[in-house]
């Protein structure tokens, strides 16, 4: 049975998108070459994953000479936000407050990070 496609990025898709975001645009070969050597991904694996990313709306493909060049349609910030919204909906009853409370209780936040979060919450509630 085929695996269900996710709207957010899988770890494998994120690895490829990170390369493309960094480069701005890339061919399949350029992405494959930029991946860490220990991954040992075949060209066809990278191609298949990039086609999936195109179907999911993360990439667009254009022909340049004989090669296909892929460009991101979704920015890294947009992808992060989409992932966070998915996590909030799936694990925190669609409550950003529960996510923040969980982070505050579980993570080792520095006093500076706590102050930045407080400032952001204050600015959001007054502006």
30-69 residue pLDDT tens: 999 999 888 889 999 999 999 999 999 999 999 999 999 9
Residue 3, φ and ψ in degrees, nearest 5: -70, 140
Residue 107, φ and ψ in degrees, nearest 5: -85, 155
pLDDT at 5: 63
pLDDT at 110: 85
Lowest-confidence region among 15-19, 75-79, 109-113: 109-113
What's the whole-number mean pLDDT along residues 14-40? 94
β-strand partners of 74: none
Residue 3 maps to a domain: no
Residue 94, φ and ψ in degrees, nearest 5: 60, 30
Q: How far apart are CA 43 and CA 87, in angstroms?
A: 31
Share of the chain above pLDDT 70, in %: 94
| Site of tokens 């645009």 | 25
Q: Are residues 52 and 86 in the same domain?
A: no
Identify the domain containing residue 19 by its residue range: 11-72
Calculate the average pLDDT of the chain: 90
CA distances from 11 to 14, 15, 82, 83, 93 (A): 5, 6, 14, 12, 24
What's the whole-number mean pLDDT along residues 77-99? 94
Q: Are residues 83 and 121 in the same domain?
A: yes
Token couple for 96: 């950003």
β-strand partners of 70: 26, 61
What's the whole-number mean pLDDT along residues 92-101? 91
Q: Are residues 25 and 68 in the same domain?
A: yes
Q: Is the pLDDT of residue 1 over 60?
A: no
pLDDT at 2: 55
Q: Are residues 15 and 43 in the same domain?
A: yes
| Site of tokens 């298949």 | 48
pLDDT at 47: 97
């Amino acid at each position: 049975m085929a695996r269900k496609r996710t709207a957010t990025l899988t770890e494998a898709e994120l690895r490829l998108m990170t390369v493309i975001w960094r480069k701005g645009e890339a061919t399949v070969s350029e992405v494959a070459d930029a991946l860490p050597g220990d991954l040992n991904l075949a060209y066809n694996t990278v191609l298949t994953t990039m086609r999936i990313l195109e179907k999911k709306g993360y990439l667009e493909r254009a022909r340049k000479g004989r090669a296909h060049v892929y460009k991101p349609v979704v920015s890294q910030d947009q992808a992060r936000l989409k992932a966070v919204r998915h996590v909030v909906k799936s694990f925190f009853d669609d409550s950003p407050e529960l996510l923040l409370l969980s982070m505050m209780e579980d993570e080792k936040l520095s006093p500076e990070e706590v102050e930045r979060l407080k400032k952001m919450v204050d600015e959001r509630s007054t502006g």
